[in-house]
Amino acid sequence: MSLFFTGHVLRQAARRGIDEGTIRAVAEAPEQVVPVREGREVRQSRVSFPPTGDVYLVRVFVDVSPGLDTVVTAYRTSKTDKYWRTP
């Protein structure tokens, strides 16, 4: 799987304090995948952020197509209960 990062996601991630490595890690190996609509999904994982070690849910929005996944945007939230899906 190849990942492409839009300029938007890189700008928003920098503004939100999320490094590209974290976004890549979540996009490539998420704890959960939540379908949004045809061709788009949210890949999410719980991540500890320095210096405090607080755990946030990092949500990465990806447009999925054969051979290329396009990362559209990403953010972190402390509202894990709101977005976490239980089977």
- What confidence tens digit (pLDDT) does each residue in 12-47 have? 999 999 999 999 999 999 999 999 999 999 999 999
| Nearest-angstrom CA–CA distance, 13 and 7 | 10
Give pTM, 2 decimals: 0.92
| Nearest-angstrom CA–CA distance, 74 and 23 | 7
Could you tell me which of 87, 7, 20, 15 has the C-alpha nearest to residue 60?
A: 20
Q: Which fold has domain 2-79?
A: YaeB-like fold (3.30.2310)
β-pair partners for 70: 4, 63
- What confidence tens digit (pLDDT) does each residue in 52-69 have? 999 999 999 999 999 899
Q: φ, ψ for residue 71 (rounded to 5)?
A: -80, 115
